């Protein structure tokens, strides 16, 4: 098995831990990039860790602990899915089909995208892709939102007001309005936006909703990402006032 771990450091202007530099401080992010592969499977996991130059960064440990735990559990879940059976399945297919492509094996990747890094408000989304020798792979989204000033991760309900069935129905209608739905491929309902729905991010101006394969349409429709202006949600009382206070202090 080959195992390669690459650590890269990128500097991003963010909320500072130093009390006299809360507006223009700089936090360094270390990218942990893990590659593992052999004849039977290929894994790539990349996730950010905060590196700070100031000792009083309480939120550094909170953020890094969650990122590390998430990456470790994702790897453990993949490795725990009967590796012996995976190897047997790959050998069987290759034995029965000599023309099988050379890279035919189980795959899992975990990459991420930043949506917001300003004023101590961090928002990122992981995209998890897994291929299990079927006709196609599948993609999932896992979203994290973090307030450095509060030293905690924000829940979806910290951001979005879905307190009543009426609010959830109104939210579904707004998402449908902003959804790129060529061919009427997707259908967004209030049921899709219940407690199990956690795929929400934010920019300085928008709330971002991400939908994985099969979530609001058949696999052929793919995934969907919807940006809705914060002002639109504010007018409809679909965004939490306390969230706006920390996003735009």
Residues 120, 231: one domain? no
Model confidence, pTM: 0.84
Give the highest mean pLDDT range of 41-50, 80-89, 90-99, 234-243: 234-243
Same domain, 146 and 71: yes
pLDDT (mean) for 71-78: 90
Are 75 and 31 in a shared domain? yes
Mark whether 60 and 119 lie in a shared domain.
yes
Domain that holds residue 37: 1-154
The answer to whether residues 86 and 9 belong to one domain is yes
Please give the residue that has the higher pLDDT: either 35 or 57: 35
Residues 124 and 187 in one domain: no
Please check the confidence at residue 186 and state whether its pLDDT lies above 50. yes
Residue ending a domain, choose from 128, 154, 180: 154
Report the percentage of the chain scoring pLDDT > 70. 78
Residue where one domain finishes, among candidates 154, 179, 210? 154
Confidence of residue 228 (pLDDT cuts 50, 70, 90): very high
Same domain, 131 and 40: yes
Pick from 154, 174, 204: which residue ends a domain? 154
Residues 149, 160, single domain; the answer is no
The per-residue DSSP string of the chain comes to -EEEEEEEEEEEE---SSTT-TTT-EEEEEEEEEEEE-SSEEEEEEEEEEE-S-TT-HHHHHHHHHHHHHHHHHHHHHHTTTHHHHHHHHHHHHHH-TTS-TT-SEEEEEEEEEEEEETTEEEEEEEEEEE-SSSS-EEEEEEEEEETTTTEEPPHHHHB---SHHHHHHHHHHHHHHS--GGG-----GGGGSTT---EEE-SSEEEEEE-TTTSS-GGG--EEEEEEHHHHHHTT-B-HHHHHHH--
CATH value at residue 120? 3.30.565.40
The least confident of 26-30, 179-183, 220-224, 229-233 is 26-30
Each residue of 78-130: pLDDT tens digit?
A: 877 666 676 776 766 666 566 555 567 788 999 999 999 888 899 999 999 98
Which of 46-60, 172-186, 221-235 has the lowest average pLDDT? 46-60
Output the pLDDT for position 95. 63
- Confidence grade of residue 239 (pLDDT, cut at 50, 70, 90): very high
Query: Do 197 and 144 reside in the same domain of the chain?
Result: no
Q: What does the pLDDT average to over 30-59?
A: 82
Q: pLDDT: is 101 or 185 the higher one? A: 185
% of the chain with per-residue pLDDT over 90: 50
| Per-residue pLDDT, 113 | 96
**Which of 126-140, 210-224, 228-242 has maximum average pLDDT?**
228-242
Q: Are residues 2 and 100 in the same domain?
A: yes
CATH of the domain at 201: 3.90.640.20
d(CA 51, CA 82): 36
pLDDT at 169: 95
Q: How many domains does the chain have?
A: 2
Q: Do 248 and 175 have their domain in common?
A: yes
Q: What is the pLDDT of residue 231?
A: 97
Shared-domain flag, residues 95 and 141: yes
């Amino acid at each position: 098995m080959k195992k390669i771990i690459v650590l890269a450091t990128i500097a991003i202007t963010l909320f500072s831990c130093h009390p006299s530099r809360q507006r223009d401080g700089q936090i360094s992010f270390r990218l942990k990039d893990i590659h593992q592969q052999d004849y039977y499977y290929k894994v790539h996991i990349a996730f950010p860790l905060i590196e700070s130059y100031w000792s009083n960064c309480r939120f550094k440990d909170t953020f890094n602990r969650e990122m590390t735990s998430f990456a470790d559990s994702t790897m453990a879940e993949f490795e725990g899915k009967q590796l012996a059976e995976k190897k047997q399945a790959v050998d069987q297919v290759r034995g029965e089909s000599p023309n099988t492509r050379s890279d035919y094996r189980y795959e899992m990747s975990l990459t991420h995208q930043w949506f917001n890094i300003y004023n101590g408000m961090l928002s990122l989304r992981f995209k998890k892709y897994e291929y299990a020798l079927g006709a196609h792979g599948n993609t999932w989204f896992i979203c994290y939102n973090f307030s450095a000033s509060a030293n905690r991760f924000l829940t979806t309900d910290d951001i979005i007001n879905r307190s009543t069935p009426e609010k959830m129905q109104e939210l579904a209608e707004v998402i449908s309005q902003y959804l790129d739905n060529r061919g009427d491929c997707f259908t967004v309902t209030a049921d899709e936006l219940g407690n199990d729905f956690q795929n929400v991010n934010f920019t300085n101006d928008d709330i971002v909703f991400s939908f994985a394969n099969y979530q609001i349409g058949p696999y052929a429709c793919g995934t969907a990402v919807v940006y809705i202006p914060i002002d639109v949600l504010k007018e409809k009382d679909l965004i939490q006032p306390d969230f706006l206070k920390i996003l735009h202090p």
